[in-house]
Amino acid sequence: MPWLTISPVTSNVTVCSSKGLQHNLLNLSIWSSVRYKEMAELARLIDSEVFLAYATYTTIVLLKMMLMSIITAFFRITRKAFSNPEDTATFGKGENAKKYLRTDTDVERVRRGHLNDLENIVPFIGIGLLYALSGPALSTALMHFRIFVGARIFHTIAYLMPLPQPSRGLSWAVGYAVTISMAYRLLTTGLHL
């Protein structure tokens, strides 16, 4: 029959099996205090003003990206330019519906803007999360987050209007540079390479 012993000096737990084999378990008091400290540190990082700023600005760019889907649908409906046959059923059947299976320059412009959002906002979310959890100064983090969000909003305006180049290219480069800047800070100070 197995039995259990606990050493009052070291808090080691030993389990002895019925065959007399002893199995030492973790030092429970040390393990639990280390785990508690790790959890407290994580809670402190998540409750920090930097993480709340990250959450706020990430929500803004995600909502902006979701808006691009609505704008795409609006342009498809108003331009009557669809890519799937089932989407044309409202406008008729057979040959009459086929004329709506086409591309439209305005719809494609919005779609390209949406794709550009996906290519730039997704890396910002991942790198920005790691950056926010690495404990940067609030003012520096806010600068990164605000510049990125402003650049992405201006990029969308420049894409949809369209504004002359290099306005769109510069706004893309500014947002991209912010993400690279956060990644650089993580690699140089946060990670132990």
The confidence score (pLDDT) of residue 143 equals 97
Spatial distance between the Cα atoms of 159 and 110, rounded to a whole number of angstroms: 8
The confidence score (pLDDT) of residue 52 equals 94
Q: Thinking of the domain 48-190, which architecture would CATH place it in?
A: Up-down Bundle (1.20)
Distances from the Cα of 144 to the Cα of 13, 140, 176, 177, angstroms: 49, 6, 11, 10
List the pLDDT tens digit at each of the 193 positions of the chain: 554 554 554 545 555 555 555 444 444 455 455 566 666 666 666 668 999 999 999 999 999 999 999 999 898 888 887 877 777 777 767 777 777 777 888 888 888 999 999 999 999 999 999 999 988 999 999 999 999 999 999 999 998 998 998 999 999 999 999 999 999 999 988 666 5
pTM to 2 decimals?
0.72
For 47-137, where are the alpha helices, taking DSSP H only? 49-79, 95-98, 105-133
The confidence score (pLDDT) of residue 40 equals 63
Q: Are 144 and 182 in contact (CB under 8 A)?
A: yes
